Amino acid sequence: MLPLIGKACQHASKWDFSLESLVEMFALLLEATNPESNTWRELASCFLKLYQHEEDRLSVCLNGNEGEQIPKLSVNYNKMPKFFAEGKSRKVWRLRCKCWLKRHSAKKMLASEIASGFSELLTYKAACASHLYGQEFDYVVKVYSHLAEQNDRELLKFLKRHIENSIRLNVNIQEKLNKI
């Protein structure tokens, strides 16, 4: 299964997989193993593609107020893909977000990973964390600072792109639950 997953997001349509299916496969792989940096990179890339796909589906409507002759342009956009927001998937991802906080983003683990010098693993995990928990999440902030100290421009650029285009899944799920 692992050889099929490499560069999976780029070839999803060629293999007849949806991005949502790939995200699920990566999530299951992360739950079953102690994954390498490539797995984290691929999951982050899938999150980014889902974000971009949702952005492409942006709905723009013309709204006019009474008495106005020129309609106003309004934009209604939620950057959380429907896949994560509906039914069972929302519950599963909410639970994943809770579990992954302890399993993949614990403070001791972060300190150990920084000490080990695996900057790629840190970067790709932080990119995923930004999609799950937002750019202000402690793991993301500390990895970004570490990469800046190391002056690793390539990895900083990668992480910044994900931070700027973050789904913020856990935050959006919590907001949806508060509205219910």
pLDDT score of 9: 52
DSSP states of 80-107: S-HHHHSHHHHHHHHHHHHHHHHHHS-H
More confident residue, 128 or 51: 128
C-alpha span between 172 and 138 (Å, rounded): 18
pLDDT score of 6: 47
Domain boundaries defined on the chain: 2-179
Tens digits of residue pLDDT in 48-80: 998 886 554 444 444 445 555 544 444 434 456
Name the token pair of 6.
């490499």
Q: For the residues 126-136, what does the mean pLDDT come to? A: 94
More confident residue, 85 or 28: 28
Question: Which of 31, 58, 55, 30 has its CA nearest to residue 44?
Answer: 30
Asked if the model's pLDDT at residue 4 lies above 50, the reply is no
State the burial class of residue 152 (Cβ atoms within 10 Å of its Cβ: 0-12, 13-18, 19+). Answer: middle
pLDDT score of 97: 87
pLDDT score of 16: 59
State the burial class of residue 68 (Cβ atoms within 10 Å of its Cβ: 0-12, 13-18, 19+). Answer: exposed
